[in-house]
Amino acid sequence: MLAQELITNTIVPLKTSDTGMLGLSLMEEYKVTHLPIVNAETYLGLVSENDIYSYNNFEEAIGGHPIANSNISVRSDQHMFEVLELIHEHQLTVVPVLAENEIYLGSILVSDLASRLAEITGISNPGGIIVLKINIHDYSLSEIAQIVETNNRKILNMFVSSFKESTKIEVTIKLNSVDIEPVLQTFYRYNYEVKASYTETDLNDSLNERYDSLMNYLNI
What's the rounded Cα separation, in Å, for the pair 63 and 21?
A: 13
Q: Residue 207 in contact with residue 123, Cβ under 8 Å?
A: yes
Distances (CA, A) of 139 to 10, 43, 144, 158: 43, 43, 9, 13
What's the rounded Cα separation, in Å, for the pair 139 and 65?
A: 51
* Superfamily of structural domain 125-218: ACT domain (3.30.70.260)
- What is residue 123's predicted lDDT score, i.e. its pLDDT? 62
Helix or strand (DSSP H, E) at 29: helix 20-30
Q: Residue 14 in contact with residue 107, Cβ under 8 Å?
A: no
CATH class name, domain 3-117? alpha beta
Residue type, 128: G
What's the rounded Cα separation, in Å, for the pair 96 and 47?
A: 11
- What is residue 44's predicted lDDT score, i.e. its pLDDT? 92
pLDDT truncated to tens, each residue of the chain (220 aa)?
Answer: 788 888 988 899 999 999 999 999 999 999 999 999 999 999 999 999 999 999 889 999 999 988 877 789 999 999 888 888 898 889 999 999 999 888 999 999 987 887 777 666 666 677 888 999 999 999 999 999 999 999 999 998 888 888 888 899 999 898 989 899 999 999 999 999 999 988 765 544 555 555 555 555 545 4
Distance, CA of 49 to chain centre:
21
Segments making up each domain of the chain, as ranges = 3-117, 125-218
What's the rounded Cα separation, in Å, for the pair 66 and 143?
A: 54
Note the pTM of the prediction, 2 decimals: 0.65
